[in-house]
């Protein structure tokens, strides 16, 4: 069951006795726990019928005793066990899970990892509880997720703005949602998020970022490449070498795929190499600029400078200087 379905059922007043939330992606777990803590019970009932435990500081017996209590002046009570992955003897919860109280909504947040599916507890939960197993989104899944969050707010976002926010934040879904919320509050009557909004409200330069660097490389514009890298040198958070190198490797890996892409138009090539059609022209231009042998040489240079960046066969050198040296060799 998904996080959205669980919350939708709760809004309809449909509850199960036990909800076990586990896995690497905390965003969905936090959403459910927050709703359980603040929305299931009216404020007047929560003071008597909401119990919150933390795995590191609580023992299983106290949690079970709380679950076995009957609600006071209400139909149900909520018991939350946060950070359950830190609880010792968590398997001792099995006795309660075997025979839960129907008037208790027991929500367990077991972050960072999943239970061993072979364990007795995991098998019991499969039969007795609603289990939500989460995992981190792959990098290529994040743009669609962001697009969904933006659409839910009745907004749209242009491709470059979307790429900027994803590249800057990565797959930290909670932070992305917070940034989108902040932008939406500041949009006024406008309905489209632009790269200027990302610069103004998230703090990512629309002119000095890894996408502008890729475009400059595609046009073999060394002067602009150097200006961008100098900006990175003065603003390390904007473009550390350990962020820039993987991004460039991903870019040129897809540039190399252009040679075997089916169809001759931008849209067909974009679909073949798995990129947004808006950016297809950059990949095509880069391939025409360097050709297959040139792209192979660039990929080898990226591997070589990745080793240099971690000190392999290289004296200590400023990251910006390493990037400048690499870029000069790329466009040579």
Percent of the chain at pLDDT > 70 equals 99
Q: What is the average per-residue pLDDT within 26-48?
A: 95
Is the confidence at residue 264, as pLDDT, over 90?
no
Contacts of 53 (CB under 8 A, 6+ apart): 62, 63, 66, 79, 80, 81, 82
Distance between CA 31 and CA 177 in Å, rounded?
12
Instruction: Classify residue 136 by its DSSP letter.
Output: P
Looking at 1.10.8.60, 3.30.1370.60, 3.90.1150.10, 3.40.630.30, the CATH number of the domain 139-201 comes to: 1.10.8.60
Per-residue pLDDT tens over the stretch 40-61: 999 999 999 999 999 999 999 9
Whether the pLDDT of residue 313 is over 80: the answer is no
Task: Please check whether residue 187 is in contact with residue 152, taking contact to mean a CB–CB distance below 8 angstroms.
Answer: no
Tell me where in the chain the CATH 3.40.50.300 domain(s) lie.
3-134
Cα separation of 261 and 269, whole Å?
Answer: 5
The pLDDT tens digits of the residues spanning 188-225 come to 899 999 999 999 999 889 899 999 999 999 999 999 99
Please state, in angstroms and rounded to a whole number, the distance separating the CA atoms of residues 50 and 64.
14
In the chain, which segments carry CATH 1.20.272.10? 210-331
Is 307 exposed, middle or buried, given 0-12, 13-18 or 19+ CB atoms closer than 10 A?
A: exposed
The answer to whether 173 touches 145, Cβ cutoff 8 Å, is yes
> How would residue 182 be classed by pLDDT, with cut points 50, 70 and 90?
very high
- Predicted confidence (pLDDT) per residue in 227-240, tens digit: 999 999 998 888 88
Q: Does the pLDDT at position 149 exceed 70? A: yes
- Number of neighbouring beta carbons within 10 Å of residue 329: 13
The structure tokens 């930290």 sit at: 172
Q: What mean pLDDT value characterizes the chain?
A: 92
Tell me: the pLDDT tens digits for 267-309? 888 888 888 888 889 999 999 999 999 999 999 999 999 999 9
Give residue 70's pLDDT.
95
pLDDT at site 262: 67
**What is the SS3 assignment for 29?**
helix
Enumerate the CATH 1.10.8.60 domain ranges in the chain, comma separated.
139-201
In this structure, CATH architecture of domain 210-331: Up-down Bundle (1.20)
How much of the chain exceeds pLDDT 90, in percent?
78
Report the alpha-carbon distance of residue 74 to residue 76 in Å, rounded.
6
Helix (H) or strand (E) holding 52: strand 50-54
HEC string for 263-306: CCCHHHHHHHHCCCHHHHHHHHHHHHHHHHHHHHHHHHHHHHHH
Spatial CA neighbour of 32 closest among 93, 127, 108: 108
**Which CATH superfamily, name and number, covers 3-134?**
P-loop containing nucleotide triphosphate hydrolases (3.40.50.300)
Mean pLDDT of 75-90: 95
Tokens representing 112? 């960072």
**pLDDT at residue number 176:** 95
Looking at residue 161, its pLDDT comes to: 94
Residue 67, Cβ density class (10 Å: 0-12 exposed, 13-18 middle, ≥19 buried): buried
How confident is the model at residue 97, as a pLDDT?
96
Nearest to 242 by CA among 170, 179, 291: 170
What region, left, alpha or beta, does residue 311 occupy, with left being phi > 0 and alpha being psi -120 to 50 degrees? left
pLDDT for 79: 98
State the CB neighbour count (10 A cutoff) for residue 196. Answer: 10
pLDDT at 263 over 70: no
Q: Give me the pLDDT at residue 66, please.
A: 97
Confidence (pLDDT) at 265: 80
Helices marked H in the chain — which ranges? 3-11, 26-38, 43-49, 60-68, 94-98, 120-128, 142-152, 159-169, 173-186, 195-201, 210-218, 222-234, 241-257, 266-273, 280-309, 319-331
What does the pLDDT look like over 104-119, one tens digit per residue? 999 999 998 888 888 9
């Amino acid at each position: 069951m998904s996080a959205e379905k669980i919350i939708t059922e709760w809004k309809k007043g449909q509850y199960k006795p036990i909800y076990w939330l586990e896995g690497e992606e905390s965003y969905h777990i936090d959403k459910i726990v927050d709703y359980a803590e603040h929305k299931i019970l009216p404020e007047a009932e929560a003071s008597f019928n909401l119990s919150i435990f933390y795995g590191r500081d609580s023992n299983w017996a106290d949690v079970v005793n709380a679950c076995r209590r009957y609600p006071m002046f209400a139909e149900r009570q909520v018991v939350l066990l946060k950070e359950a992955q830190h609880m010792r003897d968590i398997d001792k919860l099995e006795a309660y899970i075997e025979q839960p109280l129907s008037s208790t909504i027991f929500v367990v947040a077991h972050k960072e990892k999943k239970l061993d599916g072979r364990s007795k507890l995991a098998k019991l939960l499969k039969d007795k509880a609603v289990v939500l197993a989460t995992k981190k989104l792959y990098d290529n899944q994040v743009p669609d997720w962001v697009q969904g969050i933006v659409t839910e707010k009745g907004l749209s976002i242009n491709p470059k703005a979307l790429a900027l926010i994803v590249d800057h934040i990565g797959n930290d879904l909670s932070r992305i949602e917070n940034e989108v919320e902040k932008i939406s509050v500041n949009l006024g009557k406008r309905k489209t998020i632009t790269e200027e909004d990302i610069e103004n409200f998230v703090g990512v330069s629309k002119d000095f970022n890894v996408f502008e660097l890729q475009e400059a490389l595609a046009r073999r514009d060394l002067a602009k490449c150097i200006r961008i890298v100098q900006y990175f040198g003065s603003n390390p958070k904007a473009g550390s070498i350990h962020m820039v190198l993987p991004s460039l490797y991903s870019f040129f890996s897809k540039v190399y795929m252009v040679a075997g892409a089916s169809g001759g138009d931008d849209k067909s090539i974009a679909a073949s190499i798995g990129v947004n059609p808006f950016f297809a022209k950059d990949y095509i231009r880069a391939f025409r600029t360097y050709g297959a042998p040139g792209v192979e040489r660039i990929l080898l240079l990226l591997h070589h400078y990745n080793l240099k960046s971690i000190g392999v066969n290289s004296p200590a050198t400023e990251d910006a200087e390493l990037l400048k040296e690499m870029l000069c060799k790329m466009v040579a």
